[in-house]
Amino acid sequence: MSEAGSDAVVEVEGLRKEFGQLVAVDDVSFRVEAGRSLAVVGESGSGKTTVARMIIGLERPTAGVIRALGRDRSTPARNGAERRRRGAEVQIVFQDPYSSLDPRQTVHASIDEVLRLHRGGSSDDRRSRVLPYITEWARGAEGLSGERVFRGHSQMGAMREAAVAACAPFDYVLSPTSPIPTYAANLPGPTNDPFRPFELIAFTLPYNMSEQPASSINCGYTKNGLPIGLQIVGQRFDDLGVLQVSRAYEQLRGPQRAWPTPPTRPSRETIDD
């Protein structure tokens, strides 16, 4: 475990969580440095969500150390101000929209609530912080009746049923992860059109809705050296099978190129100064 003030955004060491006689998490350690990402892969029930819940403070670890941005958060926050500070540093994004989105709130209200809690300021100040693309997208729902909103929300359930039915005849489905390798990094999406926001996720969104396990691995490179993503999708609850097929593909594919070195970011001390 590195000391406070390191370049790690999140660090955990020896993390353990017991629920009575059940040990849900046992001796988990990792660190995520600024500019990097980490995937924790495992079957359903292996403790992945419990680790995330401990990091953001929804569960208290039985043992171990959790540090975010150099500050220890192994114990519960002592007051409301500390809880808000912690919430502004590390948050969880649930994959299932039924868990992460409140159907009683508008898109604008959901975004504004986060900004109000963690950034403060007036309503106009908060609105100015929202990407214009998202603002225009949210405005597209102005004037919709409650019936149309309900029908639109219900399409997530319809998409779930359709994806499961379409995959039923197959053990696994292989598809691209994206219709294009990449797009300009300063754009919110490849079309830069708030009324056409979903083209980029057409291959992946259905399986988020259907709760089917899916992996994304590199299967080659473009002429410019950019990775090409392959998605491997399995039947619901077949997490192990998806991991096994993914591992088999990784062993059969050709040599992989080294990851590019991320640009150096200013330290937190420099930003605070």
Query: Which sign does the torsion angle of CA 71, 45, 207, 218 carry?
Result: positive
Q: Which residue has the higher pLDDT, 241 or 110?
A: 241
Q: Give the distance, in angstroms, between the CA of residue 215 and the centroid of all CA atoms in the same chain.
A: 14
Q: What is the pLDDT of residues 117-159, one digit of tens each?
A: 777 788 888 878 777 888 888 787 778 888 888 888 888 889 9
Give the pLDDT of residue 247: 95
Of 92, 112, 145, the residue at which a domain comes to its end is: 92
Q: Please spell the DSSP secondary structure of 96-165, one letter per residue.
A: SHHHH--TTS-HHHHHHHHHHHHT---HHHHHHHS-HHHHHHHHTTTT--HHHHHHHHHHHHHHHHHHHH
Q: Give the distance, in angstroms, between the CA of residue 229 and the centroid of all CA atoms in the same chain.
A: 17
Of 92, 120, 141, the residue at which a domain comes to its end is: 92
Total structural domains within the chain: 2
Q: Is 115 part of any domain?
A: no
- Please tell me the distance from the alpha carbon of residue 199 to that of residue 178, in angstroms, as a whole number: 9
Q: Is the pLDDT of residue 62 over 80?
A: yes
Q: Is 222 part of any domain?
A: yes
Instruction: Name the residue range of residue 194's domain.
Output: 168-252
Count of beta carbons in the 10 Å neighbourhood of residue 73:
22
Q: Is 80 part of any domain?
A: yes
Residue 86 shares a structural domain with residue 173: no
Q: How confident is the model at residue 111 (pLDDT cuts 50, 70, 90)?
A: confident
- Please tell me the distance from the alpha carbon of residue 273 to that of residue 173, in angstroms, as a whole number: 51
Q: Is 117 part of any domain?
A: no
Q: What is the pLDDT of residues 216-263, one digit of tens each?
A: 999 999 988 889 999 999 999 999 999 999 999 999 998 899 877 766
Q: How confident is the model at residue 1 (pLDDT cuts 50, 70, 90)?
A: very low
Q: Is 273 part of any domain?
A: no
Q: Is 21 part of any domain?
A: yes
Q: Is 105 part of any domain?
A: no
Contact 133, 119 (CB under 8 A): no
Q: Is 220 part of any domain?
A: yes
Of 57, 92, 127, the residue at which a domain comes to its end is: 92
Lowest mean pLDDT of 62-71, 149-158, 164-173, name the range: 149-158
Give the pLDDT of residue 210: 92
